[in-house]
Chain A
Amino acid sequence: MRIITIAWRNLWRKPWRTVITSGSIFFGVLLSTFMTSMQYGSYESMINNVVKFYSGYMQIFTQDYHENKTINNTFVFNDSIRQIIEDEPKLTNYTSRLEYFSLASSENLTKGSVIIGIDPKRENMVTGLKKWVEKGQYLSKDDNAVLIATDLAKYLKVGVGDTIVLYGQGYHGVLAAGIYPVKGILKFPSPELNKQFIYMPLNSCQQLFSAPNRLSSLVLMLHDNYQLPSALSHLKSKIKPPFMIRSWEELQPGLVQMIEGDKAGGLFMKSILYLIITFGILGTILMMVSERKRELGVMIAIGMQRYLLSRILFIETFFIGLLGAAAGIAASIPLTYYYYLNPMPLEGDAAKTMIDMGIEPYMYFSIQPDIYYVQAIVVFIITLFIAVYPVIKAYTLSLTSALRS
């Protein structure tokens, strides 16, 4: 008789109890996986919002620009920087930008705006800008025209084909002014972006600000956030002053903090969930051992070593955890995968706040592998912890009292 067989049969002596105990683990794992998948999904979408819409995973600029974002602290894109970027294997793409503030006016309305000079083709590859064109057309390299964000266009009361005047300060205090036709209207999912952005081809922008060949930043893309740490440290080692490189995490410390805070909150809830489950399993195991006291005594009496007995009890506890965790993970994979493919649309107040915060009103799900295996590890640790009790019992059971029971 292998002890594993004995343990397995013991589990099914009271099938309902095993089913209910494993079932509680099953639901705990399912709930926890679902929650985590949703959490991670929302982080991923927030990161995407920031990274893929605008900031990229990393940016290169000058140290001076980092301190003070003026047109005077821009730089000329030289070959040595280009070489470093092109040699970095993890980068999937990069684009150049010249970014500064100016006033934008239509006939009799004026508003402060962010002017972004872009390489239209590269910008589209990096941030997919083209897909936000609501009306009109996307830019091409030699255009001397602008794309204007929808809320700003509404404010200025301009449409496709109208012209706007940009004026402000250029490189080293030179006056910057120009007249540009509106080639298209951009509608971003984020209201924040819709209020202030004007895009124009890099050349026109450099002319406007009298800053030929100058850039404010280089935006670098990776396949995903997992590539970030190694690519960042590699690039940091190569990029020398006056240049510097920053990750989105460094550029958006608020977002990072928010994610960390939310993770801690989730962890707290999951801890409570698992604590409840732990006591549920513990109750079952306590009952299982106390009911079988006499039988355990007989086994030791006839010659079973206590360590073998403790192994049987350990395996029983472990099986209960394994059954529940395996079933929970097996059920949660298709469920989260479904919602990963079909994000849950949100309605009502929640959706409104999200829109206000610049987030698309969808509940996104993540299918990162650690969402699943971390649950397995947690249940495994819980079971190990609980199994301490029967193991100790096997070693300390008093034969005479067990046999007299």
Chain B
Amino acid sequence: MNVIEIKGLTKIYKTSEVIVKAVNGIDINFEEGEFTAIVGPSGSGKTTFLNMLGGLDKPTSGKVIISGIDVWKLSSRQLIDFRMNNIGFVFQSYNLIPVLTAGENVEFIMHLQGKPKKEREKRTKDLLEAVGIGNRINARPSKLSGGQQQRVAVARALASKPEFILADEPTANLDSKATNSLLELMSQMNKKYNTTFIFATHDQRVMDKAHRIVTIEDGKILSDEYFERD
């Protein structure tokens, strides 16, 4: 079943000097349980595409339909709630709220969702253990390594039980050891919870793990390939 349907998605940036077609008429669908990499050189439109898909950046034209809902028809308040309940985000860096501990960062989103305290606490503990940070639950982000921070970000993204997780270059600031273990973690989570993961990346190690690689260039899809992995 298609979780995400994208039709004619276009984003045009107009600056005083130039008009940039950052995303130029993309049609694509994503299914439940996908583990997909959006790849392409820097400036090809990956971030713009992901941001429109995630309800962060308004398309110039085109549609993003998630579980039957035309996302960009929602009011701005509805859209924030929609993101909270349906989409998990992992950004390149500085994902976490600095004044909250690892545990609080994970719990925070469930708090926003209005989940009861007991459930929040249990799920926070479970998720942090699952991502291997169980013993750092009370550490502030500044006391965690970059890799650990990204793991907490994954735990937070999973905490709201989203339809899918969008990760924009999640490994860009990590060394190869941290990259491997983060990838391992995400693929585990993908299998365990059947949560869809969509990455933007130009990291070969990420591509090697992906089940589907969508290549874009100049805001257009160049290729869309599927791979069998282990």
Contacts and interface: CB of A to CB of B under 8 A. Distances in A.
B56 A303 contact: no
23 contacts: A1-B100, A1-B104, A1-B107, A1-B111, A6-B97, A6-B99, A9-B99, A298-B89, A298-B95, A298-B97, A301-B56, A303-B80, A303-B81, A303-B83, A304-B80, A304-B112, A305-B80, A305-B81, A306-B76, A308-B112, A399-B56, A400-B56, A403-B51
B109 A400 contact: no
Query: What 3 A-B pairs come out closest when comparing CB atoms?
Result: A303-B84, A9-B99, A400-B57
A13 interface: yes
Interface of B: 47, 51, 54, 56-57, 76-77, 80-81, 83-85, 89, 91, 94-100, 104, 107-109, 111-113, 156, 160
A399 B80 CA distance: 11
Task: Determine chain A's interface SS by DSSP, over half rule.
Answer: helix
Nearest to A8: B99
Contacts of B84: 302-304
Given A6-B99, A298-B95, A308-B112, 5 more contacts: A294-B94, A303-B113, A306-B76, A403-B51, A403-B56
A250 interface: no
Interface of A: 1, 6, 9-10, 13, 294-295, 298-306, 308, 399-400, 403-404
Contacts of A302: 83-84, 89, 109, 112, 156, 160
B89 A301 contact: yes
B121 to A, nearest CB: 12
A181 to B, nearest CB: 85
- Most chain A CB inside 10 Å of its own CB: which residue of B84, B96, B107: B84
A305 B107 CA distance: 16
B117 to A, nearest CB: 11
A207 B195 CA distance: 111
Contacts of B156: 302
Nearest to A398: B57
A13 B99 contact: yes
Given A1-B100, A399-B56, A303 B94 contact: no
A304 B160 CA distance: 13
Contacts of A404: 47
Contact of A301 (B83, B99, B100, B113): B83
A308 B94 CA distance: 21
A303 B112 contact: yes
B86 to A, nearest CB: 10
A299 B104 CA distance: 13
A301 B109 CA distance: 11
- Most chain B CB inside 10 Å of its own CB: which residue of A13, A302, A304: A302
Contacts of B98: 13, 295
B228 to A, nearest CB: 33
Contacts of A10: 99
Given A6-B100, A294-B94, A295-B94, A1 B108 contact: yes
B94 A298 contact: yes
Contact of A399 (B57, B96, B97): B57
A295 B97 contact: yes
Nearest to A304: B112
Contacts of B100: 1, 6, 9
Contacts of B81: 303, 305
Contacts of B109: 302-303
A1 B54 CA distance: 25
Nearest to B47: A404
A18 to B, nearest CB: 13
A301 B97 CA distance: 12
B68 to A, nearest CB: 20
Contacts of B83: 301-303
Given A1-B100, A295-B94, A298-B91, A303 B51 contact: no
Contacts of A294: 94
Contacts of B113: 303
B40 to A, nearest CB: 17
A404 B57 CA distance: 12
A399 B184 CA distance: 30
A153 to B, nearest CB: 77
